[in-house]
Amino acid sequence: MTSKRYVRLLQVLFIFHVLCCFKCGDDYTDAEIKQPAITIKMNNTVYHPQETIWIDAWVSTSNFDTTERDSIAATDDHPFYFSIHQLKTGQTYNVNYGFNHADVVSSLTPFSDAYSCFYYINTVKGVKDANGKNLFRYRIGITPKETGVFLINFPEHVKFENVDRKQNLLSVFTVAGNNTMVWENCNGNVMKRNVENGDVFVEVQ
């Protein structure tokens, strides 16, 4: 083989190697792991102060790899996020922060919380199903300290199993503007939005 042909062969092999690397990189970048939706079940009846609202939730222990189009085992215990708010009657806002008006407990695993102005986020880690099912389970208790209408905000992609979200309770708490919910001022910031899929309203008398 002449030196020119040898150099040309090396160039072709180098270009092929670079193209393969880019292709591998694209495959890695395009890969997306999707978590399944958490299912929530709760008895949304009329509660009383110091009465605990129990929430049961569960989710599959498998995620879905959109590249391989196959289920894969979850690498974590699917942390579950939610926040609590309280509706108020007012001209400038109709929602305030509920973390001072309710206590939260988790009967299966410890939970953590974090304050972020409009949200006091409670995080609960899942525990594997005791009967061997491929599920992470959660059991959360919310105990309101006073009467009123509380808003429990779950992630947008949750699924509800026979849960009355009682969105009609919001109609009593009207507020000026184009949004149905306006939060109280927090460090000069005001959050406004409409009802989302993860919103559940609970009446406490």
Q: What is the CATH number of the domain that holds 56?
A: 2.60.40
Q: Please indicate, yes or no, whether residues 71 and 1 belong to a single structural domain of this protein.
A: no
Q: How many residues appear in the chain?
A: 205
Q: Please indicate, yes or no, whether residues 89 and 1 belong to a single structural domain of this protein.
A: no
Q: Please indicate, yes or no, whether residues 44 and 17 belong to a single structural domain of this protein.
A: no
Query: What is the Cα–Cα distance from 194 to 180, expressed in whole angstroms?
Result: 5
Question: If you average pLDDT over residues 37-45, what whole number do you get?
Answer: 93
Look up the domain containing 4 and give its range: 1-30
- Position 132 scores a pLDDT of 74
Is pLDDT of 174 > 80?
yes
Q: Please indicate, yes or no, whether residues 118 and 60 belong to a single structural domain of this protein.
A: yes
Tell me the pLDDT tens digit for each residue of 57-94.
Answer: 988 876 655 565 545 555 556 777 888 999 999 879 99
Q: Please indicate, yes or no, whether residues 63 and 146 belong to a single structural domain of this protein.
A: yes
Q: Please indicate, yes or no, whether residues 14 and 51 belong to a single structural domain of this protein.
A: no
Is pLDDT of 204 > 90?
yes
Q: Please indicate, yes or no, whether residues 4 and 40 belong to a single structural domain of this protein.
A: no
The number of distinct structural domains making up the chain is 2
Q: Please indicate, yes or no, whether residues 43 and 25 belong to a single structural domain of this protein.
A: no
- Position 59 scores a pLDDT of 85
Query: What is the Cα–Cα distance from 190 to 21, expressed in whole angstroms?
Result: 48
- Residue 202 CB-density burial (10 A; 0-12 exposed, 13-18 middle, 19+ buried): buried
- Position 49 scores a pLDDT of 97
Assign 103 to helix, strand or coil. strand
Is pLDDT of 23 > 50?
no
